[in-house]
């Protein structure tokens, strides 16, 4: 956890050299801002994605990617980022929607770290509970491995929690059937979220190339709503990224997927993931998706998630199409005892989640909306049998239902994570997750 520890020390003021070349104006414009680039994102013209070309020349002669406009503002004082390119250090695993990235946040070694945009001290316990986001704090406080007074996972949660706007936001928690893996999410209006979201990514050392990709895709799509996520596990997994929870063309969403590493090495630009998804979607007459997200790992392979809401006339037909995706993308067949439970869900609107990287397909998930609780518990109990999961406390999900003031969760998800992508901190192969959503 060396990378996270360095990040925590900077944010707590333990080893922060302060701004670099503080009196030199920055020449960076990225398209993230439409006016004053103050750290709150609320001054001047509302912050948004720009459709104007990005001029990432910056003050760093060694960095052709440039620096986002939020970097270069420390306590609202412009500066030029003169920090040279840094070598990548050790990494933690990172994920997208319960899916790990095998690389972590960039560490700075033997040089001054990237200047942080107005870093704030990390707080402990019920950080920010009185200023909004109370539902997330209450949820955190009922998860056993999050109850420790001091641990790296809790500190990482606090860094993220302090970065998210607390008004006009929607909050989500995704928890594994054994209570050992969590995904925290927050989303809301683009102009409210974008500055704080990018500040968070810089604070944890996300690479400039990925922030540029976020900006470029944001300018292309111009989503009305955006969000950030972090994943964590009781084994120490700590990961994060962004997502756009908006409808868009599947063809456009596929542009966020990375090229196949094997084909690139062979001099080919073919992409087996994109080709397989195009063929499957054409067969099933699917043109659109409802969500795209990506991790912010310091080094490849990085992962992209696309979610598709199946719109066939009946739940049985939707499940049939979803099962066909397991075969098309070469995931194992769903066990019969699981199919027996899945066929008991009666609400239409099944969502298919597909995660890929330059190494191929990573994860597939089926999200069933507003499941009947008795059927959901059947699936949870089946999920606990995979890999001899230790059962969560019998009252954990009842407590979370109360926190989110729900009779049933937003979704229950059956998923498969390909071997090798758990990085010893997330469970691989079949698993079950429960999704909660609140304001």
Tens digit of pLDDT for each residue in 274-312?
A: 999 999 999 999 999 999 999 998 777 899 999 999 999
CA distance 30 to 212: 8
Q: Give the rounded percent of residues in the chain with a pLDDT score beyond 90.
A: 56
Sign of CA dihedral 138, 139, 142, 145: negative
Show the beta-strand stretches assigned E in 21-95: 73-74, 77-78, 94-95
CA distance 124 to 93: 24
Rounded to two decimals, what is the model's pTM?
A: 0.75
State the DSSP code for 85: P
Q: Is residue 21 part of a domain?
A: no
Q: Is residue 3 part of a domain?
A: no
Q: What total of structural domains would you count in the chain?
A: 1
pLDDT at 76: 28
Write the burial class of residue 123 (CB in 10 Å: 0-12 exposed, 13-18 middle, 19+ buried).
middle
Provide mean pLDDT across the span 58-78: 30
Give the structural domain span for 428. 170-438
- Residue pair 253/218 in contact (Cβ under 8 Å)? The answer is no
Q: Is residue 132 part of a domain?
A: no
- Residue pair 217/256 in contact (Cβ under 8 Å)? The answer is yes
- Give the model confidence (pLDDT) of 119-171 as tens digits: 343 333 334 333 468 999 999 999 988 987 668 899 999 999 999 998 889 99
- Residue pair 212/65 in contact (Cβ under 8 Å)? The answer is yes
Q: Is residue 289 part of a domain?
A: yes
Q: Is residue 88 part of a domain?
A: no
- For the chain, the residue count is 439
Q: Is residue 51 part of a domain?
A: no
Q: Is residue 15 part of a domain?
A: no
- What SS3 class is residue 7? helix
- Give the model confidence (pLDDT) of 364-388 as tens digits: 999 999 999 999 999 999 998 886 6
- Residue pair 295/282 in contact (Cβ under 8 Å)? The answer is no
Q: Bigger pLDDT: 209 or 6?
A: 209
Highest mean pLDDT: which range of 74-83, 130-139, 345-354: 345-354
State the DSSP code for 181: E
pLDDT at 392: 65
pLDDT at 167: 85
Q: Is residue 4 part of a domain?
A: no
CA distance 310 to 39: 40
């Amino acid at each position: 956890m060396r990378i996270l520890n360095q990040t925590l020390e900077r944010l707590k003021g333990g080893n922060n050299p302060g701004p670099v070349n503080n009196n030199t104006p920055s020449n960076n414009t990225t398209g993230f801002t439409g006016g004053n680039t103050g750290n709150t994102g609320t001054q001047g013209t509302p912050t948004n994605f720009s459709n104007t070309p990005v001029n990432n020349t910056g003050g760093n002669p060694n960095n052709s990617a440039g620096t986002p406009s939020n970097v270069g503002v420390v306590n609202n004082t412009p500066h030029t980022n003169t920090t040279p390119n840094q070598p990548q250090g050790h990494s933690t695993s990172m994920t997208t929607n319960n899916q790990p990235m095998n690389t972590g946040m960039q560490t700075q070694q033997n040089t001054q770290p990237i200047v942080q945009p107005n870093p704030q001290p990390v707080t402990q316990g019920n950080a920010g509970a009185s200023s909004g986001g109370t539902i997330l704090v209450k949820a955190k406080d009922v998860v056993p491995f999050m109850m420790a007074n001091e641990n790296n996972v809790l500190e990482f949660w606090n860094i993220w929690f302090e970065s998210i706007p607390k008004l006009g936001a929607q909050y989500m928690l995704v928890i594994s059937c054994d209570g050992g893996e969590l995904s925290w999410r927050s989303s809301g209006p683009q102009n409210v979220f974008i500055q704080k979201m990018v500040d968070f990514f810089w604070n944890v050392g996300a690479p400039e190339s990925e922030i540029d990709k976020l900006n470029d895709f944001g300018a292309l799509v111009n989503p009305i709503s955006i969000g950030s996520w972090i994943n964590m596990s009781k084994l120490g997994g700590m990961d994060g990224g962004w997502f756009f929870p908006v409808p868009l063309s599947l063809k456009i969403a596929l542009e966020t997927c990375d090229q196949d590493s094997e084909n690139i090495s062979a001099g080919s630009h073919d992409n087996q993931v994109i080709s397989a998804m195009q063929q499957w979607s054409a067969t099933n007459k699917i043109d659109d998706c409802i969500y795209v997200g990506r991790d912010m790992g310091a080094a490849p392979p990085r992962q992209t998630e696309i979610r598709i809401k199946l719109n066939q006339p009946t739940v049985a037909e939707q499940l049939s199409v979803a099962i066909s995706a397991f075969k098309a993308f070469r995931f194992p067949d769903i066990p019969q005892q699981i199919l027996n439970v899945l066929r008991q869900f009666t609400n239409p609107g099944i969502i298919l989640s597909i995660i890929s990287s330059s190494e191929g397909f990573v994860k597939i998930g089926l999200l069933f909306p507003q499941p009947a609780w008795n059927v959901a518990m059947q699936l949870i109990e089946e999920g606990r049998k995979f890999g001899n999961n230790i059962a969560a406390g019998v009252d954990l999900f009842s407590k979370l239902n109360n926190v989110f003031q729900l009779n049933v969760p937003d979704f229950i998800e059956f998923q498969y994570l390909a071997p090798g992508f758990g990085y010893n901190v997330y469970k691989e192969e079949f698993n079950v997750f429960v999704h909660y959503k609140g304001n």
